[in-house]
Amino acid sequence: MSDSDTRENTTDSVAILHDRFPGIGGGEKFAIEAARVLDAPLYTMYVYPGTEIPDDIDVVPIRQDKYTGQLSRQVLGWKNEGTNPLETLSVAMDMTDAHPDLQEYDVVLSSAPLSKNYVPSTDQRIVHYPHSPPRWLYDLFQDRLSSFDYPGVRFVLKAYAKCWRALDKEANDYVDTFVANSELIRDRIRKYYNRDAEVVYPPISGDWRHEDDDGYFLTWSRLAPEKRIELIVEAFTELDERLVVAGDGEQRERLENIARGHDNIEIRGFVEDIESLVARATAVVYAPKQEDFGMVGAETLLAGKPLIGVNEGFTRYQVTEGTTGELFEPSVVSLRETVRAFDPDDYDHDEIQSMASKYRYENFERDLRRVVGIQADR
């Protein structure tokens, strides 16, 4: 981390503004890679203790003590996967004036929804990469609301969401260019913000390759309910095919219990060299709920492996049936039928990799520089 008080004048014209670093997820990986590609400093409200950011990234925490002090961490720290309303509101308000040094830059690339609340100077250009409009306010609002049965609670939640929508849409006035991480998010931006957006796929790095077929289906991700690994494991309990599950998380013990007694299912936990595991798989099975982009899907295709993906979210955009994989409905029965009908000999690994070339890291570099307005030789 760098001390902003010792920061010298710089000729850099671009800064990255990411809301906060509660850990290293997809949004945080984007901010880190954007800082590398644009050779830009990365401003963020705070870095949660224990979160490791690469040494080559110049990180400026804006309100570190406020959010991570011993007492304030209990009230404002990141909790419950970001559902602490006090922390969310506080970060949004602190973003309005953010950091005085940000006024020095010609362009601010704001990453994640709350960063959009930064109020720029009149001659600054704001490029906003939201990852998605806040889903609990828009496309998932009815779903979230339905989980609360008490009318009084529902009324309060409706009022709370209505206020947040007003704040969210007000901040759109500061944005010059919206950038979406997929065509699906571009469509959401058009629907909910009435603004167009450029599409720049997220950065994908790693040695993704095809080596052989060792006769196992693979799924990997954080083992959380929204990834629906349980659906996949349940489907394979009545299949003759092998399934390898890589990853760790809150559902690991539950998945191990489902797999117990089924020799064709292996729960491996976190795998460091996931690329090698993918390289020798028959196909990858992926079933997340309404995925905004889906790194797993893109990485699978870059490895030349067929993707058996759920027919929703951006996953359905990634699969061209019969060419890059197969789609199934989000049910155990549908997945079983799809796997039983699947024939790996129907797929050409080179063709899959060719169709996935749009996800390559060099395209991310080129497209990000273009939308920000930086020449490639910068």
The residue to which tokens 């710089």 are assigned: 10
CATH 3.40.50.2000 in the chain: give the residue spans.
4-204+361-372, 216-359
Q: Who wins on pLDDT, 66 or 338?
A: 338
For residue range 69-120, list pLDDT tens digits in order. 776 666 776 654 456 778 888 899 999 999 999 999 999 999 999 999 999 9
For residue range 8-61, list pLDDT tens digits in order. 444 448 999 999 988 887 889 999 999 999 999 999 999 988 888 999 999 999
Q: What is the pLDDT of residue 49?
A: 84
Judged by phi (left if over 0) then psi (alpha if -120 to 50, else beta), residue 213 lies in beta
Q: Give 216-359's CATH code, choosing from 3.40.50.2000, 3.90.1150.10, 1.10.10.60, 3.40.50.1110.
A: 3.40.50.2000
CATH of segment(s) 4-204+361-372: 3.40.50.2000
- Strands 125-129, 42-44: pairing is unpaired
Q: Residue 302 and residue 363: Cα distance in Å, rounded?
A: 13
Q: Residue 7 and residue 203: Cα distance in Å, rounded?
A: 28
Mean pLDDT of the 322-333 span: 96
Q: Who wins on pLDDT, 76 or 223?
A: 223
Residue 2 has pLDDT above 60, yes or no: no
**Percent of the chain surpassing pLDDT 70:** 92
Q: What is the pLDDT of residue 135?
A: 80
Residue 241 has pLDDT above 70, yes or no: yes
For residue range 266-284, list pLDDT tens digits in order. 999 999 899 999 999 999 9
Q: What is the pLDDT of residue 190?
A: 96
> Residue 61 pairs with which residues in a beta bridge?
44
* Closest by CA position to 372, among listed 57, 37, 58: 37
Mean pLDDT is highest, among 220-224, 227-231, 292-296, 374-378, for 227-231
Could you please report the per-residue DSSP string of 104-169? G-SEEEEESGGGGG----TT-EEEEE-SSS-TTTTTTHHHHHHT---HHHHHHHHHHHHHHHHHHH
Helix axes 229-236, 252-259, angle to 10 degrees: 10
Q: Who wins on pLDDT, 70 or 327?
A: 327
What is residue 77's DSSP assignment?
S
146, 149, 154, 157: CA torsion to nearest 10: -70
Mean pLDDT of the 245-250 span: 90
What is residue 80's DSSP assignment?
G
Q: What is the pLDDT of residue 79?
A: 53
